[in-house]
Every structure is written in C-alpha cells, then in structure tokens.
C-alpha cells in the first residue's frame, strides 16, 4: 500500500475483494483466498454475496437478457431442455398464449399436459434472462451487489445497525449509478422501447422506462 498504487491501473473487483469488503464491514480481518475456506464468517460472506448476485439478475438487464433466442428440440427425447443458468423463459404470447412454460429445465406444453412436444414443433423462440457468473457482469452491478450484501451480512452477523459501515443511502447511490449506465446502454424511451425494437402490438407507454424491456417487439 502507499504511493506505488497511484500508478497502478485499477482492475475489476474480484469475488475475493468483495468478500473482504463484507468482512471489513463487521471488523474482521480480510482473507487471502476463498479456496478451502475454514473461516466461518468468510464462508457466510461469500454465500451472502452470491445470494444477492443471483437475486439482482432475475429482474433482467440489458447484459443478461436476449430476445427471440432459439431452443431446439432433441430428436431423441422429443423435449427441449434449457441450460441450468436460465432464469426466465417467455415465448411470444401472441403466438402461443402462454402454452409453453418451463418446469425445471424442460419446456412443458400446458395444452397437451406433457413435456413431449409435437412433431411439428422442432424449436421454440423465447425471450430469456441468464444468470451470469461474477466476472461476466458489469463492475457497477458487482459494486451494487457488494454494498447490498455488506449491509445485510452485517445485520445478520452483528444484529446492530450502529456498527454497519454501509448505509441504505450508499446502496441507493450505487444502484443509481448502475441504472444510469443501464439506460445509456439500453436507450429506452416511451415511443419505441429498447434499442432495435418497436412496441407491439401498439403504443404502450407503460412498457417504456418503467419496465425497460419490450419482450416481443419487431426488429427495425
């Protein structure tokens, strides 16, 4: 530590860095590794971080959402099985009216009451949300997650708000930075929704900034 750091380019916050922020938040010493961790507080800190990291992704962001993603039916099982890190699966409601939904990792046909799909259905397209690992999401998201987790971790371990280093305002400030970056990337507006999509089937102001995602639009 010291003057040598002034010429060092800062890198991304690692999961280890974030765990140490949680530990320091309750007055504990930082750890040097997360492998074969024997310190109970460090293990709990890591679990808390990953809990909030997953929870925050489920709402869907520009960087973990994809539109019209194709899933191909397996010719042997006649099923569509999705990857384990899929958090949301939504087919076109105007084409299928909620007919196909996920049950576990397998697509289920609600009309036929089976996960064995008809012969004419060789694939399905859906709007999806992925759960991504720590090092594949934006730094601003990891920062927000770290502050959220630090507050909750301290409350769970210490049970005393007076000892918590990060406040709710810190969390809100980090969230505001994240959402500002999201708007700059996604470029939502009330008339056209997200970039590259028109509202469907008609003008829907409630689907603009409030929801940020137009799930079933037409490409420009």
Q: What is the pLDDT of residue 220?
A: 40
Q: What is the pLDDT of residue 218?
A: 40
- In tens, the pLDDT along 40-74 reads 999 999 999 999 999 999 999 999 999 999 999 99
- The helix or strand, by DSSP H or E, that contains position 117, with its residue range, turns out to be none
Please state at what angle helix 139-158 crosses helix 15-25, rounded to 10 degrees.
Answer: 30
Evaluate if pTM is beyond 0.85. no
Quick one: CA torsion of 42, 48, 54, 59, rounded to 10 degrees?
Answer: -150
Per-residue pLDDT tens digits of the chain, which is 220 residues long: 567 777 777 889 999 999 999 999 888 999 999 998 788 999 999 999 999 999 999 999 999 999 999 999 999 999 999 999 999 999 998 889 899 999 999 999 999 999 999 999 999 999 999 999 999 999 999 999 999 999 999 988 887 655 566 778 888 999 999 999 888 886 666 555 555 454 444 444 444 444 454 444 444 4
- The helix or strand, by DSSP H or E, that contains position 130, with its residue range, turns out to be strand 123-130
How far lies 200's CA from each of 62, 96, 117, 165, 215, in Å? 19, 15, 28, 46, 9
């Amino acid at each position: 530590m010291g003057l040598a750091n002034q010429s060092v380019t800062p890198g991304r916050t690692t999961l280890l860095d974030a765990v140490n922020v949680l530990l320091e938040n309750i007055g504990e010493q930082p750890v040097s590794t997360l492998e074969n961790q024997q310190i109970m507080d460090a293990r709990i800190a890591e679990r808390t971080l990953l809990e909030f990291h997953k929870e925050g992704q489920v709402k869907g962001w520009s960087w973990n959402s994809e539109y019209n993603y194709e899933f191909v039916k397996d010719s042997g099982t006649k099923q569509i099985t999705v990857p384990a890190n899929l958090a949301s699966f939504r087919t076109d409601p105007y084409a299928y009216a909620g007919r196909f939904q996920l049950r576990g990792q397998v697509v289920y046909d609600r009309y036929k009451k089976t996960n064995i799909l008809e012969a004419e259905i060789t694939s399905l397209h859906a709007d999806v949300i992925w759960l991504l690992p720590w090092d594949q999401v934006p730094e601003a998201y990891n920062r927000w997650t770290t502050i959220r987790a630090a507050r909750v971790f301290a409350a769970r371990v210490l049970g005393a708000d007076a000892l918590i280093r990060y406040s709710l305002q810190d969390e809100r400030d980090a969230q505001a930075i994240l959402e500002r970056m999201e708007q700059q990337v996604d470029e939502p507006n009330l008339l056209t929704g997200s970039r590259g999509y028109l509202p469907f089937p008609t003008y829907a102001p409630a689907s603009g900034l409030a929801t940020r995602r137009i799930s079933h639009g037409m490409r420009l």
